[in-house]
Amino acid sequence: MLDMPPLKYADLPGLRMGYYEAGPDDDPTPIVLLHGWPELAFSWRHQIKAFADAGRRVIAPDQRGYGATPGPEAVEAYDLEHLTGDIAHLLDHLRIEKAIIVGHDWGGIVGWGFPLRHRDRAAGVVGVNTPHLARSPVDPIAIFRKRFGDSHYIVRFQDPAREPDRIFAAHVENLFDFMLRKPPPARTGGGPINLDFPSIVAAYDPARDTRPSIVSPQEKAVFVETFRRTGFTGGINWYRNFTRNWERSADLDFTIAAPCLMIAAELDAVLPPSMSEGMERLCPDLERHFVAGSGHWTQQEAPDEVSRVILDWRGRRFP
């Protein structure tokens, strides 16, 4: 695969996980990179190379339900207890006591959720675009529905008939052609942003989209070919556990004592920098970095900056 080390496999409890690994085995504080939706470990290809070149051990799995890691049928098998447990089991497989957990998008939710459930295994946590949030006062799906309506993609993903899964499977190239582009300039007003991704993708005409791509045709083909093979249900099942995750987190302490780094992207319409305001209450040992001009796919849009910032923080905090 383009710019990726060889694919390896780990037999974990109830799951065979595909992952990529690079860098020296004797690095005392490895870095684990967690991708989001609709992505793969391949999304971290730039960081894997940069970290390994800098002498750091790095591990990037295809997480449960993605790529080289097929998941179970049951929707509840994709809750945060399973997703964070997979990372703990992968560390056990690799004989790693503690690691720095770096997550983007949904991988960020898993990354921030990891030390809440496995406190002695997280040396530090880095959120790329995804902030660490306190437990919401009510079911998050009710919040999404009230704030954004029934057409919001997360609300639509709750559909038990799995219509979004079928729409994306029928328009795989459209999905990645639409997603993997530079964002438009910062908005200065107007109505809410349309986040009905299933409808957008079904009607999308790439010939009319003037935004430049952030990936080469060969890189886009990796995503397209993989998701044509696997479909989208595994990843969308993560969203179908928002309510379950909320219900099962009532007794958790959301404070993270480990060193934390928050990398926010100026033009991310889904996870804007404003969402991270107040994170210091939950992450007392927090550093921040702001990536100007980047949209949602920050580790691919601004790969050198993201790699440099994480390596600098890691070098200072874990010398």
Classify residue 190 as exposed, middle or buried by CB count within 10 Å of its CB (0-12, 13-18, 19+): exposed
pLDDT category at 2 given cuts 50, 70, 90 is confident
Q: Is 2 part of a structural domain of the chain?
A: no
CA distances from 236 to 78, 200, 245, 311 (A): 9, 17, 14, 31
Percent of the chain topping pLDDT 70: 97
Q: Give DSSP secondary structure letters for 28-96.
A: SS-EEEE--TT--GGGGHHHHHHHHHTT--EEEE--TTBTTB---S-GGGGSHHHHHHHHHHHHHHTT-
- Note the pTM of the prediction, 2 decimals: 0.97
Average pLDDT over residues 7-21: 97
8 Å CB contact between 78 and 241: yes
76-127: per-residue pLDDT in tens?
Answer: 999 999 999 999 999 999 999 999 999 999 999 999 999 999 999 999 999 9
8 Å CB contact between 101 and 114: yes
Say whether pLDDT at 188 is over 60: no
Three-class DSSP category at 145:
helix
The reported pLDDT for the residue numbered 193 is: 75
Q: Is 202 part of a structural domain of the chain?
A: yes
Average pLDDT over residues 146-162: 95
Average pLDDT over residues 31-39: 98
Average pLDDT over residues 42-69: 98
Q: Is 245 part of a structural domain of the chain?
A: yes
The reported pLDDT for the residue numbered 190 is: 55
Percent of the chain topping pLDDT 90: 95
Q: Is 274 part of a structural domain of the chain?
A: yes
Average pLDDT over residues 164-177: 98
Say whether pLDDT at 132 is over 90: yes
Average pLDDT over residues 68-73: 96
The reported pLDDT for the residue numbered 1 is: 61
Number of domains in the chain: 1
Could you list the active site residues? 105, 296
Buried b (16+ CB within 10 A) or exposed e, 270-305: bbbbebbeebeebbeebbebebeebbbbbbbbbbeb
Q: Is 171 part of a structural domain of the chain?
A: yes
CATH number of 11's domain: 3.40.50.1820
The reported pLDDT for the residue numbered 189 is: 56
Domain region containing 46: 7-317
The answer for residues whose C-beta is within 8 angstroms of residue 213's C-beta and 6 or more apart is 177, 180, 181, 182, 220
The reported pLDDT for the residue numbered 52 is: 98
The reported pLDDT for the residue numbered 185 is: 78
Q: Is 1 part of a structural domain of the chain?
A: no
Say whether pLDDT at 187 is over 70: no
Q: Which of 125, 85, 93, 73 is nearest to 21 (CA)?
A: 93
258-315: per-residue pLDDT in tens?
Answer: 999 999 999 999 999 999 999 999 999 999 999 999 999 999 999 999 999 999 999 9
